[in-house]
């Protein structure tokens, strides 16, 4: 992801989330947060999704993952998550975590498919409606072993 991608990312962000990040937040992530790693997904020259994480010591924390509504249900989000996990493993991360709304069963099912497991709840985490967040964690294989992970991009 580059600074030039931010306007398109904001479109996706507003469509996907009730509390979208601002242009300033993305700009700060890309220019000042040395832990931040972001990627975009393009289809036929258009950005249709993006994902981000913080890579800290040996743990990755997913900050965002979103796909344009018109492209959902086609495994684009799964491919983004695969690439994020692969990148985290490449960077030497041993595990990866995220928070997901307790009501977002579609996302939870994807995360479980990719090896994430529930590890706790953050009460009232989402400030728009005080919804709880489910904390999920997954172990990451060594990068050299990533291609043999179930559901990995290389197997498709």
| Radius of gyration (C-alpha) of the chain in whole angstroms | 15
Q: Which CATH class is domain 3-146?
A: alpha beta
As annotated, the active-site residues are 99, 111
Encode pLDDT of 24-59 as tens digits. 999 999 999 999 999 999 999 999 999 999 999 999
Encode pLDDT of 65-101 as tens digits. 999 999 999 999 999 999 999 999 999 999 999 999 9
142 pLDDT band, cuts 50/70/90, is confident
pLDDT of the residue at 156: 34
For residue 148, pLDDT over 50 is answered with: no
Query: CB of 133 within 8 A of CB of 119?
Result: no
Sorted by where each begins, the domain ranges of the chain are 3-146
Max CA separation in the chain (angstroms): 42
Q: Is 152 helix (H, G, I), strand (E, B) or coil?
A: coil
154 pLDDT band, cuts 50/70/90, is very low
Q: Residue 52 and residue 39: Cα distance in Å, rounded?
A: 6
Query: CB of 82 within 8 A of CB of 151?
Result: yes
pLDDT of the residue at 149: 47
Between the CA of residue 113 and those of 37, 107, 110, what are the distances in Å? 23, 10, 5
Q: What is the pTM of this model?
A: 0.87
pLDDT of the residue at 146: 64
Q: Write out the DSSP string of 34-47.
A: TTEEEEEEEETTEE
Alpha helix (H) ranges present in the chain? 6-16, 23-31, 76-90, 105-113
């Amino acid at each position: 992801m580059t600074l030039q991608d931010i306007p398109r990312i904001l479109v996706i962000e507003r469509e996907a989330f009730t509390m979208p990040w601002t242009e300033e937040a993305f700009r700060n992530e890309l220019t000042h947060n040395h832990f931040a790693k972001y990627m975009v997904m393009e289809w036929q020259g258009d950005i249709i999704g993006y994902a981000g994480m913080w890579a800290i010591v040996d743990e990755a924390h997913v900050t965002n993952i979103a796909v344009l509504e018109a492209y959902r249900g086609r495994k684009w989000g799964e491919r983004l998550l695969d690439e994020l996990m692969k990148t985290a493993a490449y960077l030497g991360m041993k595990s990866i975590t995220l928070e997901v709304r307790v009501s977002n069963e579609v996302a939870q099912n994807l995360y479980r498919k990719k090896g994430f497991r529930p590890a706790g709840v953050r009460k009232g985490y989402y400030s728009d409606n005080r919804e709880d967040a489910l904390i999920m964690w997954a172990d990451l294989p060594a990068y050299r072993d990533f291609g043999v992970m179930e559901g990995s991009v290389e197997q498709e």
